[in-house]
Chain A
Amino acid sequence: MTVMGRFRQEAAPIYSPAEAWHNASMVDERGLIEESRSLGGDYFLLKIAAPRIATTAKPGNFVMVRVSPTLDPLLRRPLGILESRPPYVWLYYQVLGHGTRLLSRLGPGDGVDILGPLGNVFPELPGKRVLLVAGGRGIVPLFHYARAYGERRPLLLLYGGRTRADLPLLERIKTLRLQGLFIFSEDGSLGQKGLLTDGLEKIVREEKADATMSCGPEAMLARVAQILKSRGLENHASLEALMGCGFGACHGCAVRTTAGAYRKVCDEGPVFPLEEIQWRT
């Protein structure tokens, strides 16, 4: 039996590109790097002048960055938008391989092609008491959300990482309007010791959250989904994926849903209802 055969009996994807478009405003813009700052460890904060993207980007959107004009690497890298304040966008990323390493070597005055804003957005949920759950670099779209909507609604942030070094954005986070900030590190070097999921249930209960928005490693999201199951909250998650194009053309970034279909993380996501994702872990 072929690999295809196994899926033939399952729910068929109902899909049409026009319905999946969220960003008719996406552009391939020549950004100009204003600042590239090492935050210690493998973490970098990049400030890029990209006025067109900065003007239209909303929390949840991401960009595809061409880290080199050569054929090495061939593909762009998907990076979340930490913050946008025209004419600037801020990207926060971890050096994980060849592409991000090349990006980290660029500096002020260097040009870089960025395609965006891409993907869908987090729902605004006016009036709701929203808990943001950020694991490591998963802070990126949630920071954007808090910056954009923190003035208008009560927001709580649960932020965790392996060690203090994995939570270098803390100073910047303190500039956000939050009603509660809960920090976890696995080694106890910052905040409470343990996984952020250890504290999730108690925080949801005591802080009376109506909704959650999560972003982080897949194992963390799977555990968050398990803990929040049947609690009656509205839960959303932003996913990370390897992408070929970032705008729905290549179908390379598929994620499995509990209905048995595949969804493209790039233009049908990256934000999905938490319960819809079939976790691999």
Chain B
Amino acid sequence: MADLKVDLGFGTLKNPVITASGTFGYGEEFLPFFDLDILGAIVTKGIFREPRPGNPPPRLQETPAGLLNSIGLAGPGSSALQEIIRRLHAKTSTPIIVNVCGEDDDEFAEVAAIFSAMDEVAMLELNISCPNVKKGGACPAQDAGHTARLVKRVKEGIRKPLVVKLSPNAADIVRVAQAAQDAGADALSLVNTFLGLAVDLGKRQPVFANVYAGLSGPAVKPLALRLVREVCRRSYVPVIGMGGITSGRDVLDYILVGAAAVQIGTVNFYEPAAAVRIIGEIEAEMDKLKIKDLSEIRGKLQAG
């Protein structure tokens, strides 16, 4: 039987499948569909200090094998999320990772400190890469200098491991990744959504009020896989890969280019129990390929 355990250095996961922020609600929404204990970890939907209404509709547009979203990090605020996390933790032993947001560096640090203090929280993911907050898609993860300052600042106020979530829209994601790890990130996760544009030809207007939106889904997998490989080649902290995963085979592709673990996102929307199927497929695929442990293939892409 294949061993799916993942050692991140600062903690272990029972398997590499983590549900991605913004695609798994606050965990509770999926309780009717499967036992959350089977997951490697859960990342909660991004949270700010205060409640946040999110962007005006429309917020979604389907694309070929993909999804453009401009949700705008709608959420109940950090006090309400603390309550939800206590409830969630009472229902599952799976590690809970809180995705932390901020309008500015102060807010990132403050929200991170709030959730770092919760026993129910295993680690934090710093969401410096959401393209739907500022008009035009700007975010801290586009700038290595800002990323370094912010990570250092957040790390000073927390005791939990910090995963820093990177943007594929940075001019040089490898530089930003290095800045994040040098500043103290315990792990990196990538990629957030790709900036995209949809237009309304009749109205001569963008479909989304924020103009640009974030593209996810199977369509982005080759783009994301390349970026994950590039970052893995230069990083000394674990990398959590994501982008378009819909099968066990996709997960193993990410492990092969060097990812320690993965996150699954858009697939959760149209197949709520996708994680159960994907974890089963990883085991079956490993047995078929006679892989006993994920470390046998991690980073073993032979590209000359």
B292 within 8 A of A: no
A138 within 8 A of B: no
Task: List B contacts of A262 (CB < 8 A).
Answer: 53-54, 57, 74
Residue of A7, A71, A244, A250 with highest tally of chain B CB at under 10 A: A250
Q: How far is the CA of A243 from the CA of B57 in the complex (A)?
A: 11
Closest chain A residue to B33, Cβ basis? A28
User: Does B62 lie within 8 Å of A74, measured CB to CB?
Assistant: yes
Task: List B contacts of A24 (CB < 8 A).
Answer: 32
Task: List A contacts of B278 (CB < 8 A).
Answer: none
**B56, B64, B271: which contacts A256 (Cβ < 8 A)?**
B56
Q: How far is the CA of A248 from the CA of B45 in the complex (A)?
A: 12
Q: How far is the CA of A249 from the CA of B275 in the complex (A)?
A: 15
Which listed segment binds B: A13-21, A119-127, A200-208? A13-21
Task: List B contacts of A96 (CB < 8 A).
Answer: none
What is the total number of residues of chain A having a CB less than 8 Å from a CB of chain B?
Answer: 45
B80 within 8 A of A: yes
1/0 contact trace for A226-252 toward B, CB 8 Å?
A: 000000000000000111110111111
User: Does A18 lie within 8 Å of B87, measured CB to CB?
Assistant: yes
1/0 contact trace for B57-70 toward A, CB 8 Å?
A: 11110101111010
CB under 8 Å from chain A, chain B span 1-45: 22-26, 28-30, 32-33, 45
Closest chain B residue to A73, Cβ basis? B62
Closest chain A residue to B83, Cβ basis? A16
**B33, B64, B72: which contacts A4 (Cβ < 8 A)?**
B72
Which listed segment binds A: B152-160, B188-196, B225-233, B262-270? B262-270
B149 within 8 A of A: no
Shortest CB–CB separation between residue A96 and chain B, in angstroms?
A: 13
Q: Identify the B interface with A (CB < 8 A).
A: 22-26, 28-30, 32-33, 45, 50-60, 62, 64-67, 69, 71-72, 74, 76-77, 80, 83-84, 87, 133-135, 209-210, 217-218, 246, 266, 268-273
Residue pairs across A and B with Cβ atoms less than 8 A apart, 18 shown, are A2-B133, A2-B210, A3-B210, A4-B55, A4-B133, A13-B53, A13-B74, A17-B84, A18-B84, A66-B270, A72-B65, A74-B218, A245-B272, A251-B71, A252-B60, A254-B59, A254-B74, A256-B57
